[in-house]
Amino acid sequence: MMDKIIGAFTFRKEVYKEVEDDASFTPTAWMIVAVVALLSSLGSGAVAARAIGARWIFGAIGGALFAVAGFALGVFVISWAGKTVFNADTSFEEMVRVLGLAYVWNAVGFLGILALLGPALTCISGPITFLAGIAGLVAWFIAAKEALDLEWPQTIGTVIIGWVVSLVVSIIAGLILAVLGLTSAGIGAALGGARF
């Protein structure tokens, strides 16, 4: 598994083709998404909360649940758009495997935890997290291209549609968490939960 994760971090397209064809990797892909979503939510919640506490932990768990739901919805939309609009030969499970592996880039969001050590460290973790979000989006493009077997313009369009859907879910999740009183995690999820 570490070879696959390293492959995702180094943009090796072969690793995505490998997991696309490996049905046994589906539970692992979901585990990657869940763990990375929790780590990212802990980091973004720390940026907003600047304190450790039950509200931060519960907010991070809630943010992670919404992030996994956003991931599932985004994957569904990408799979559906690829099949419906561009006649791609793919399935939801194949997309979960390749995009779940590409989701590892969101783990960099955990660096937000550095805000607990000092606000100045946010100046370091913020740009790194932003760049990791861009790298994660690139990884999604590469992974989706391998699974959809489409040309680049169709692949990019399909992924952008899925990304917009995930962004909307993240914003709604942030608002719901804020209304529930989990403001720090809610704001963190709204601002940082849609990274790929």
One-letter amino acid of 184: S
Phi, psi of 182 (to 5 degrees): -100, 55
Residue 86 has a CB neighbour count (10 Å cut-off) of: 17
Confidence of residue 47 (pLDDT cuts 50, 70, 90): low
Contact between residue 116 and residue 56 where contact means Cβ atoms under 8 Å apart = no
What is the Cα–Cα distance from 90 to 92, expressed in whole angstroms? 7
Determine the average pLDDT of the residues in 109-120: 77
The yes-or-no verdict on residue 179 having pLDDT over 90 is no
Which residues are within 8 A (CB) of 125 and not within 5 positions of it... i.e. 6 or more apart?
A: 43, 47, 111, 112, 114, 115
Q: Look up residue 186 and give its two tokens.
A: 């809610």
Which of 70, 78, 66 has the alpha carbon at shortest distance from 143? 78
Q: Look up residue 160 and give its two tokens.
A: 């952008």
Determine the pLDDT at residue 191.
47
Per DSSP, 58 falls in state H
Contact between residue 72 and residue 3 where contact means Cβ atoms under 8 Å apart = no
> Which of 85-94, 109-118, 155-164 has the weakest average pLDDT?
109-118
